[in-house]
Structure 1
Amino acid sequence: MHIRSVLITALTAAVTASTLTAAVGTASAADDEGSCSQHVSIHGYSDALDKTSFQDTYVGNLSALAADREGRISALSDRSVLFGLDQALKPTSVVSLADESGQPLDSEGLVIDRDGTRLVSSETEPSVRRYAADGTLLARLPVPANLSVTAPGGAIVNRTFEGLTMDRSGRTLTASMEGWLRSDGVDTRRFQTWHRGGDGEFAVGPQYAYVAEKGYGISEIAATRDGRYLVLERSFAADVGWTAKLYLADPQGASDVSTVASLTSTQQDVRFMGRTLLADLSDCPAGDAISKVPHQRNPLIGNIEGMAVTDVHGKRLRVLMVTDDDESGTAITRMYAMDIRLPCR
């Protein structure tokens, strides 16, 4: 099975919400060729961006993907660079981002708002900032003190806002912590929300608790149309290489843990978000994929950090994912096209 060539053909045809589906085709429940599980199928992958440059800027270190209202894709580097991509997923623009002092960000999450501005999370402080399309810094959202890496917060440096997503209404923004707070159990993660008011500004909303797989961090989240979240967890171990699992999290009925100083996964007074495994991506067929990572059990899988929903048909989603190559000779910038069929609530 040559899933790589399938995806390259599809992605060079188009990547907008409507044409990507037409180009790749829609998997049916009986279509098992690219099946990773009963809920997830892979249509292919492309390494076309690996070790490339655009306008003297390295195209790699990609940590996030986002689609605008017309289905155009942007890719964010954790080296503070934002790329616009064409229908073939080739760069067409590059913009550098900076903080209030003109310094680069450790940029990890990306949302394109309804007005075309970019919301970008950084895991340094952590922070969420709003930028114009040309990279001009417009605003910074408030972040609860307990999520800060400095006192009185309990966050761990480089383990904060890795994921960022917005609901379909454009009223709720959500950031996910990659790791745990020092006061929390090591398997707990916090999701922070903001709600948009009538003035168009975001105010801090509820904070939810999530239990992650042992040894895994949350690398990305994506809101579904019914108020749930796709949650991408990934891990690295020397004897198996990179692994990744895709979950569906449901905040319905979950507790607001904003004022809970310490979380453990066994707490009886806290209602954690519901969590359903959609697929262990290591079970996806590797096709003709290669990997340079030593002992990589499934050569298809790398450090998957970015994820964006590009098309929706009821409970069936078309999703694009990307790996972070960290400018390493053993890692690859790889994009994946996935079909996800959501289970009912």
Structure 2
Amino acid sequence: MALVGAAAVTAVATSLLTVPASAHPGHPRPGVRLIGEQRVPNGLVFQGTTVGGLSGIDRDPRTGGYVLISDDRSDRQPARFYTARFDVTAHGLGPVTFTGTSPFRRPDGATYPPLSTGDGTTVDPEDIRVDPWTGDYTWSQEGERRPGVLIDPSIRTARRDGTFARELPLPANLRMTADRGPRQNLVLEGLTYAAAGTLVVSTVEGPLLQDGPEATPEHGALSRIVVQTREGRQLAQYAYPQEPVFAKPVPATGFATTGVTAILAVDPLDPSRFLVLERSFVTGVGNKVRVYLVETAGASNVANRDLADATGVRPVRKRLVADLADLGLSTLDNIEGMTWGPTLRGGERTLLLVSDDNFAATQVTQLVALGVRLETRMRNGLDVASRLGG
């Protein structure tokens, strides 16, 4: 990648009005508190499946329960989702009770095969949302990029029993080609409905190949927020400025990564304001998880341009809502899913997060409930406090 491209990414990412995680070390941000946390036992077997890899969660208004997606690529059991119940009150988060599971099915009714079959239909599930119009389950998956294998990502909708309902057409720049498109395992992670269900908004976890380098401890990166109608017509793409990786790996040859793992409409009627979850992991250091408030109003539509040279691009505006390291959790794992829970008496809203344990004995499936009362609305770089959700 040309040095001028990397410099442009750094300049754009650092020009935004953001509050660094270290601005209030050791203290939760105003208006955000930890309500409680629960863990799902590692390796829990439910209805013949291994519960794990939970990378997306959404509240189902029809039942008051929740739907969660597993990122099992049909390696253990067929790619699938779960339904569950748990209580959220002002004073705590109750234990998780799973109530059902179903595999996702292809249009021919078969389940999705593992990558090892080589037939090109494998999926890598990441996020899930309840369609506010139909009650169906809309889910994203990352596809695959590896030598000799290119499988496009997708956004598909399943009926509540897992059978295939439809697929959203994706913009051309989100498709896998030899030298353009998404990077391996940095594709469609976040998904949400907006504007009363008329819009489907997704996030690319990391920069496309044509959008410059990935984030490092020295500089951030630009990924994308994609806005489509529920029929799939693209309305816009916006540049999302990722933070630099929060630390250097130990040892220096270790792994360090960051990415956008979830997006959530702040208000179901508002097409321009979202919560975005950035998750980072650094070998020898651990995880960092931050939630940002993002506004797309005033940002450049970058649907028809590459971002390696981001000259003139106005990214979305963002402001830190919560750094989970400040909230007193017992542990902080690989949190990837996010949804609103019930609104509590007095107007406080609950925000629920779930971690993907990667089916590893050294990690945990963690459910976290936050109470969120205040947000920050940005106006020309100035902060104006307002009630969240009214």
Question: TM-score, normalising length from structure 1?
Answer: 0.80
Measured in 2, the distance between the counterparts of 1:99 and 1:305 equals: 25
Quick one: which amino acid aligns to residue 281 of structure 2? Answer: F
Answer whether contact 1:49 1:334 (CA < 8 A) is retained: no
Q: Select the residue among 249, 264, 282 that pairs with 2:325.
A: 282
How far does residue 205 in structure 1 lie from its aligned partner after superposition? 2.1
Secondary structure in 2 aligned to 1:244?
strand
Deviation string 1:130-167 (CA, Å, 9 cap, x unpaired) is 11001111111110111112257421121100011111
Measured in 1, the distance between the counterparts of 2:348 and 2:323 equals: 18
How far does residue 242 in structure 1 lie from its aligned partner after superposition? 1.2
| Matched ranges for 1:128-143 at <5 A | 128-143=155-170
| Matched ranges for 1:115-126 at <5 A | 115-124=134-143, 125-126=152-153
How far does residue 117 in structure 1 lie from its aligned partner after superposition? 0.7
Answer whether contact 1:82 1:97 (CA < 8 A) is retained: yes
- The alignment status of 1:330 with 2:323, answered yes or no, reads no
Report the counterpart of residue 375 of structure 2 in structure 1.
Answer: 342
Report the counterpart of residue 237 of structure 1 in structure 2.
Answer: 282
Secondary structure in 2 aligned to 1:46?
strand
Measured in 2, the distance between the counterparts of 1:312 and 1:149 equals: 41
- The alignment status of 1:65 with 2:38, answered yes or no, reads no
Quick one: which amino acid aligns to residue 312 of structure 2? Answer: D
Quick one: which amino acid aligns to residue 282 of structure 1? Answer: A
Measured in 2, the distance between the counterparts of 1:89 and 1:168 equals: 30
How far does residue 315 in structure 1 lie from its aligned partner after superposition? 8.0
How far does residue 268 in structure 1 lie from its aligned partner after superposition? 4.0
- The alignment status of 1:77 with 2:70, answered yes or no, reads yes
For residues 151 and 48 of structure 1, do their structure 2 counterparts lie closer, same or farther at Cα, with a shift above 3 Å needed?
closer
Secondary structure in 1 aligned to 2:292?
strand
- The alignment status of 1:41 with 2:40, answered yes or no, reads no
- The alignment status of 1:247 with 2:292, answered yes or no, reads yes
Quick one: which amino acid aligns to residue 222 of structure 1? Answer: L
Answer whether contact 1:51 1:333 (CA < 8 A) is retained: no
Quick one: which amino acid aligns to residue 65 of structure 2? Answer: R
Measured in 1, the distance between the counterparts of 2:201 and 2:54 equals: 20
| Matched ranges for 1:158-197 at <5 A | 158-167=185-194, 169-185=196-212, 186=214, 187-196=221-230
Answer whether contact 1:323 1:332 (CA < 8 A) is retained: yes
Report the counterpart of residue 243 of structure 2 in structure 1.
Answer: 213
Q: Aligned pairs, how many?
A: 294
Quick one: which amino acid aligns to residue 194 of structure 1? Answer: Q
Deviation string 1:223-242 (CA, Å, 9 cap, x unpaired) is 11143111111111122111
Quick one: which amino acid aligns to residue 159 of structure 1? Answer: L
- The alignment status of 1:222 with 2:259, answered yes or no, reads no
Percent identity, aligned pairs only, is 33
Residue ranges of structure 2 left out of the alignment (5+ in a row)? 1-25, 73-78, 87-94, 114-122, 144-151, 215-220, 246-257, 379-390
Secondary structure in 2 aligned to 1:194?
strand
Answer whether contact 2:158 2:164 (CA < 8 A) is retained: yes
Residue ranges of structure 1 left out of the alignment (5+ in a row)? 1-33, 290-299
For residues 320 and 219 of structure 1, do their structure 2 counterparts lie closer, same or farther at Cα, with a shift above 3 Å needed?
same
Report the counterpart of residue 110 of structure 1 in structure 2.
Answer: 128
Report the counterpart of residue 99 of structure 2 in structure 1.
Answer: 92
- The alignment status of 1:318 with 2:350, answered yes or no, reads yes
Quick one: which amino acid aligns to residue 276 of structure 1? Answer: R
Report the counterpart of residue 306 of structure 1 in structure 2.
Answer: 337
Deviation string 1:181-227 (CA, Å, 9 cap, x unpaired) is 1111330010111113xxxx342221111100113201111111143
Secondary structure in 1 aligned to 2:325?
helix
Quick one: which amino acid aligns to residue 72 of structure 1? Answer: G
Answer whether contact 2:38 2:96 (CA < 8 A) is retained: no
Report the counterpart of residue 316 of structure 2 in structure 1.
Answer: 273
How far does residue 344 in structure 1 lie from its aligned partner after superposition? 2.8
Measured in 2, the distance between the counterparts of 1:143 and 1:272 equals: 21
Quick one: which amino acid aligns to residue 261 of structure 2? Answer: S
Report the counterpart of residue 259 of structure 1 in structure 2.
Answer: 304
C-alpha RMSD over aligned residues? 2.1
Measured in 1, the distance between the counterparts of 2:37 and 2:43 equals: 16
Measured in 1, the distance between the counterparts of 2:318 and 2:204 equals: 16
Answer whether contact 2:281 2:287 (CA < 8 A) is retained: yes
Quick one: which amino acid aligns to residue 52 of structure 1? Answer: L
How far does residue 49 in structure 1 lie from its aligned partner after superposition? 4.4
Secondary structure in 2 aligned to 1:282?
helix
For residues 317 and 151 of structure 1, do their structure 2 counterparts lie closer, same or farther at Cα, with a shift above 3 Å needed?
farther
Secondary structure in 1 aligned to 2:209?
coil
Measured in 1, the distance between the counterparts of 2:142 and 2:367 equals: 23
How far does residue 312 in structure 1 lie from its aligned partner after superposition? 4.4
Report the counterpart of residue 20 of structure 1 in structure 2.
Answer: none
Report the counterpart of residue 25 of structure 1 in structure 2.
Answer: none
Measured in 1, the distance between the counterparts of 2:347 and 2:300 equals: 26
